[in-house]
Chain A
Amino acid sequence: MIERSHHDMGGQKAGKVKRTEHAYDDWELRVDAMMMLLVGVVGGSKRMTVDELRKNIESLPPADYDKLGYYDRWVISLTQTMIQRGVITTDELARKLADVEKRGRR
């Protein structure tokens, strides 16, 4: 079995913590808003729990977990959760991503 999950890193050796604030990009604010809607903090209809968000973040491969930013992890995790809950399908997501990519290349 797995002894310690990668994300569970309390007490492990680490570098200095950067104690500076930074401005959020628009997409990060949108991801935050989306999460608030999905867990029902606002809007009232609950589509997932914050524990599912955490579970799917914790399931990221260690190299990705380390490389990705805070809201990168959120958007991947909430998308994964929507697939697990049947709100969207993998196929729909793949086609939509292809559409968006095409739009971006124009």
Chain B
Amino acid sequence: MTGSQADASAPAQQRLEVAHLSKAFGPTRALRDVQLRVAPGELHGLVGQNGCGKSTLVKILTGVYTPDPGADIAVDGRRLALPIRPMDQRQAGVAVVHQNLGLVDDRTVWENVRLGRYQAGRVLRRINRREEQRAVTEVLDRLGRPLDVNQPAGALSAEDRAAVAIARAMQDHRPGGGLIIFDESTRALGRSARSRFFALIRSLIDGGASVLLISHQLEEIVEATDRVTVLRDGAVVAGGLPTSDVDEAALTRMMLGRHLVTHGRVDSHAQDAVVAGVRGLATSPVTGFDLGVRRGEIIGLTGLIGSGFQEAAEALGGARRAEAGQLTVQDQVLALDRRRGSTEEFIAAGVAFVPERRLDQGLAAELSLADNLTLPRVRRRGGRLRIGAAWQAEETAAMIAKLDVRPPDPGAPVGTLSGGNQQKVLLAKWLAGAPNLLVLHEPTQAVDVGARHALIDAIRDAARGGCGVLIASVDAADLAVLCDRVLVFRDGQVTAELTGDLAQDDIVHATFGMAAPENEKSATKRRAG
């Protein structure tokens, strides 16, 4: 923490040196005094739970965000001006391969690789096509993946697409230097492709480059990387730990830590009566998902991103049209493969869906808190010719008090509230309708501790009132505190069902597909006993 010694005089010069990096979004602090050092010729891993600040870090390194004052970022000992400008980044030899690879599907391989670098003729400003293609072929050959550079990127296999994205990142690469950041880029690769991918990375490193690998696959971090840095809640909990010293379980423990506010687990409110049932839900990648939800029961859906738990939640909330399946709420049967665009029938049957992206899907930023909160009920509760002011004011006031929304101004545009308060308004919008089945997608994502507290209490309160609750989340802490049982998805199937006294570690182990190691189990037992 006392990083005030002159780092510049450190004997070995680092390829990437990040110091005192903080970033706050309003009241939420995404990164706190982060230090990160990547040595030349090193494969460095970066791990952490969703929302720990990994993507914020990458966005600062690529110049999307400006860090808070006081940060220091240096490449090969040369400090970069902040925010980082794309030209500086390129000149310093830093390249990023993004999560979704960032390819334009209907353009050719060479156009994708050379985007932003096209060399044009002097007079007619015409792109020198042959020269570009030659350059791209050369880079791909260097990667050991010769491809036809004239085919569209959309026609390639996942593996080749990754190669094209890597080629784009690597083309300016000077042997003996450079840093390539892979931001979850292995997700698209199959198991066999992955080993070839790492062979590729190894050859880059042998050529003198450094690699920062951000990944959810702890297995590959432990196997492939030299050292690893672990982020938790925006801070570094382990910096540059040699991976020869750690195993997956140890990494998991570091990633999780213990949250500042640990809600005590309270008794289940689950009753015997079933309030909702799901039969045969299929929505890519989910197949044949069945579920019975009892009154007052809180069920968690989790897994890795892409495992299907999010898609299942969206389909059950009416936000996504499934290929097959039906949802029964009370006695009403809803077809999940319906054609209708709006969620009207779902709402009428008492299903409420709190979506993940609150300002894209949940709330209209420019309209007022009261208007947003009452929207789903203006037709049901209002007359055809007049919505009626009284019930709106009453409902809004009650919900503002219940969730402690600040500022408590019903007329304030939702966009002016902080993220945590927006999330409270979003939850209130649906709780006010007293739903039978509440489907929540990442209900405490990117909110501060106080808001999380209020949200968790409100969700529990709804369950106490007899509402069945589904929570789709990657936040093991939330799930452990709230849920009666947790369903873990993998490749579209539920592969584990955790019940009883839930521990965060068990949820994470199941998510990452590992059996809980011995010492972990005994720790759980000790806690239970």
Please indicate whether A and B come from the same complex rather than being unrelated chains: no
Where the two chains meet, the residues of B that have a C-beta atom closer than 8 Å to any C-beta of A are none
Where the two chains meet, the residues of A that have a C-beta atom closer than 8 Å to any C-beta of B are none
